[in-house]
Structure 1
Amino acid sequence: MKYISLIILTLLQYGLASNNLNLGKNVTVSGISSGGYFAHQFHIINSGFVNGAAIFAAGPFYCARGNAITAMNTCMEGKLVSGTSLFSYQYINTLQFSGLIDPAFNLKDDKVFLFSGVLDKVVHQKVTNELNSLYELLGVKELKYVKDLQVAHTLPTLDQGGECTKSQTPFIGNCNYNGALESLRTLYPDRRKENNVLGGTLTKVSQGKYFSSFDIGLYRPLLMEDAYMYIPKYCKDHQCELHIAFHGCKQSLDDIGTDYIDKSGFIEASEELGLVVLFPQAKKSLSDFQNPNSCWDWWGYSGMDYSVRTGQQVRIITDMVKDLLNKNMQ
C-alpha cells in the first residue's frame, strides 16, 4: 500500500467518532514469529470469542515455559522440541479447569491456518510441526498447514518486501505468495469478494487507556500508546468481522514504521473480504535483557502469568478488543 499517509489524513478529517462500526461478534487473529506465538496464545486464552487463527513461523502454547533460554533453544532452534505439543495440550487442560483460560472445547469448530517456510532457520519448521500437532490434539478439524515453500523467516507476500529466501528486516518477503490473503481466505471461506481497491481509512486506537493502575513504573507495559485499525469503505455501511494482526519482532512502528501495516497484505485482503483489521503495537525496552526487539511476550518478560487471561499484554489487548466489539470507540 503506497499511499497510506493520504488515507490517514482522510480519516483525521472525519474523526474516529464518525466511524459507527457494526462489528460481528466473532474475531480472528494472525501473527508471525513472536506475533505468531502471541496470536496462538491469544486464541487459546480467549477461545470464547476468538474463532480462528493464522499463524506464521511459531510454535505451541507455553513452549518457553517462562524461560528465555528454552524459548531460544527449544521453541526457535527446535532442540528437544519433540513432544512439546503433548505438554502444551496437558497444560491447556490444567489451565482451563482452573478458569485461567476459556474452555478448550471452543476450539474444535475453529479454522486454523499455519505457515512455516522450508528455509526458516529462526523458528525451525519442526517447531511449527508441534503447533500443528497441538491443534490436532485439541480437535481442530479445519486445519491447513502450508510448509512446502522456499521461504525464510519472513511474512510471505505477493510482491512486497525483501528477498523471500533471506531472514532479514523488515521480515516481509517478496515471495509471489499472498500469505495474508491465503490465510484469511482459510479463516473466512464464505466471505464474498467485496472490493479490491483501497478506499478505507486508517485510525489510531488507544492501547494506553486500557493500562491498569498497577501498570506503572517498572511494570509499565511494553506496549505503545496506540494501535492502528484499518476500516474498509464497505465496513462503514455493513457489518464486518474483526481481525487482529500481530506484528513480529523488529516489526513495530519503532522498527520499520508502518511497513507491517501497509506492506503485509492484510489491508488489501481486508478490502477483498470485508474485514476490519486491528494492528496492536508492542514496544521495545530500553534495556537489552527485557525486550529490545519489540517482541510480543511469549516467554515471560512481562510477568509469569503471561500465558493466562491475567497476563499484562493479554489483558490489555483483550480489554481493547472487547471495547471495540461493544462499539465504545473513544
Structure 2
Amino acid sequence: MAGRFFYLVALVQSTAATTLDSLTTKNINPNSVSVSGFSSGGYMAAQLGIAHSELFKSGFGVFAGGPYDCGRDQDYTTCLFNNTPSIEQPLANMLSWSGSEIDCLCNLKQRKVYIQAGTADDVVGLGIARLLESQLSHFTDPSNAQFVTSVGAAHVFPTDLDGQGNSACNQSALPYIANCGYDGAGEVLKWLYGNGLKPRSERPLSGSILPFRQTGIFGAPGLAETAFVYVPEKCQQGGKTACKLHVALHGCGMHHEHIGDKFLVNTGYNLWADTNEIVVLYPQTTVDNGTYPTWSGNLSNLNACFDWIGQYGESDWKTGDHMKAIVNMVRTIIGHKSEPGPFISQGALPFVEEL
C-alpha cells in the first residue's frame, strides 16, 4: 500500500469494513494537532480550536468564516452576506463557558490562529471575518495571529494551482476552490507549524488517501458514512518518524458526494503533508433532509454544512454532535484511548477496503 496514491471518485459502495494497521500504532505527535476549514468548515474549525483548545495545540485556521457562537443569540443569516453581527453576547458566552462547556480560554494565549478572507466574498464577507479576528484578540497573543486579505477573491478556498473543475477566483461558485495566486493550504500550515516546513511536493505523492467508515463514534446526523484521511508514506511506516495531524474541513456543498475528490486534491493540503510528515484528516458531511430545531428555528441541512447554528446539539460546545465525532477521529488517530467521558477511543478507524 505504501507509495500507492489513489482517489475515490464516488463513495465506496457494497464494501465491507476491513481491518488495516491502526493509525494509532504510528508515531503521531499529540502536540502537533491542528485544524483549518473553509466557510461552514471555517466556522467549525474555530469551534474546534476554541472549545477543544487542549486538543488542537498547534492552533487553527479559518478561511471565509466568522465569529465563534455567532448564530446563537441572533439569526444565523446575520453572520453571512456581509452583514454586521454583534459579538458582544458571544464574547460573554465564551467567558461564562470557559473551563466547562469549552476548554479554558487561557489556552488560546499559546495557540496559533490564521484567518483569511477575500474582498469580493459575498457569501460570508471580509467584515465578518474581521469580527472573528476582533473576538479572538481578547484571548490570543497578537504575535500568534495572522489575518490575510485576498484582494478580488470571492467566496473560494484560495490556491495557486490550476485544479480541474475549479472555480474562477472572482466568482462565488462551486466547487469554491480557485487559483487566486495564493497557496492557502501552504500558508495556513506554515503559520500553524512554523516556517521550517519543507517546500511542498512537486512529485507524485508517496502516500494514500484512505476512505474509512464515518459511523459509530465517528458519525452524527449530517455526516456522511465515508470520510477520508491522507497518510504520507513515512507516516504509514511509523516508528522513527514523528508525524503531525491536521484536520481539513470543507464548506457547504463541497462534500465528496457532491464534488468528488476536489477538496481532497485541488486545495493542495496533501502536497505539503507529503514532504512534512503530516497526516490530513478529511471529515465529510452529507445532505440531510430532516428538519431540526436550531438557534434560528427549524431547518434542514440541504447544503451539507458542518454545524455552527445549533442544528445537531449545542454545536459550539464540546457536546455538539459534529464536534464530538471529529474529536473522536482525532483522539483515535493520536492514540488517546483512555480519555475519560464520551471521547473514549474504541480502537482503529474502520477503514474501507481499497477499490
Q: Secondary structure at the match of 1:235?
A: helix
In structure 2, the residue matched to 1:134 is 135
Please say if 1:170 is aligned against 2:175. yes
Is the contact between residue 84 and residue 128 of structure 2 (CA under 8 Å) also seen in structure 1? no
Is the contact between residue 32 and residue 56 of structure 1 (CA under 8 Å) also seen in structure 2? yes
In structure 2, the residue matched to 1:146 is 148
In structure 1, the residue matched to 2:289 is 286
Distance 1:319 1:146 in 2: 31
In structure 2, the residue matched to 1:217 is none
Judging changes above 3 Å, is the alpha-carbon distance between structure 1 residues 279 and 202 closer, same or farther for their aligned structure 2 residues?
same
Contiguous gaps of at least 5 residues in structure 1 = 9-13, 213-219
Residue identity in the other structure for 2:84: L
How far apart are 1:190 and its partner, in Å? 5.0
TM-score by structure 2 length? 0.81
How far apart are 1:15 and its partner, in Å? 6.8
Is the contact between residue 200 and residue 230 of structure 1 (CA under 8 Å) also seen in structure 2? yes
Distance 1:17 1:171 in 2: 34
How far apart are 1:278 and its partner, in Å? 0.1
What's the C-alpha RMSD, in Å, of the aligned pairs? 2.5
Judging changes above 3 Å, is the alpha-carbon distance between structure 1 residues 107 and 246 closer, same or farther for their aligned structure 2 residues?
same
Q: Secondary structure at the match of 1:92?
A: helix
In structure 2, the residue matched to 1:324 is 333
Please say if 1:185 is aligned against 2:190. yes
Distance 1:309 1:53 in 2: 16
Q: Secondary structure at the match of 1:113?
A: strand
Please say if 1:233 is aligned against 2:233. yes
Contiguous gaps of at least 5 residues in structure 2 = 11-17, 292-298, 337-346, 350-355
Encode CA deviations 1:276-296: one digit per residue, 9 max, x unaligned.
Answer: 100001111125841001100
Q: Secondary structure at the match of 2:81?
A: coil
Judging changes above 3 Å, is the alpha-carbon distance between structure 1 residues 6 and 282 closer, same or farther for their aligned structure 2 residues?
closer
How far apart are 1:233 and its partner, in Å? 1.6
Q: Secondary structure at the match of 1:50?
A: coil
Q: Higher mean Cα deviation, 40-49 or 137-146?
A: 137-146
In structure 2, the residue matched to 1:16 is 20
- Count of residue correspondences: 311
Match of 1:199 among 206, 216, 220: 206
Is the contact between residue 222 and residue 283 of structure 1 (CA under 8 Å) also seen in structure 2? yes
In structure 2, the residue matched to 1:31 is 37
Is the contact between residue 7 and residue 202 of structure 1 (CA under 8 Å) also seen in structure 2? no
In structure 2, the residue matched to 1:216 is none
Q: Secondary structure at the match of 1:93?
A: helix
Match of 2:61 among 54, 67, 71: 54
How far apart are 1:29 and its partner, in Å? 0.4
Encode CA deviations 1:7-46: one digit per residue, 9 max, x unaligned.
Answer: 99xxxxx973176421111210000000000010011110
Distance 2:196 2:225 in 1: 33
Judging changes above 3 Å, is the alpha-carbon distance between structure 1 residues 245 and 87 closer, same or farther for their aligned structure 2 residues?
same
TM-score by structure 1 length? 0.87
Judging changes above 3 Å, is the alpha-carbon distance between structure 1 residues 66 and 312 closer, same or farther for their aligned structure 2 residues?
farther
Return the structure number with greater helix share. 1
How far apart are 1:312 and its partner, in Å? 1.0
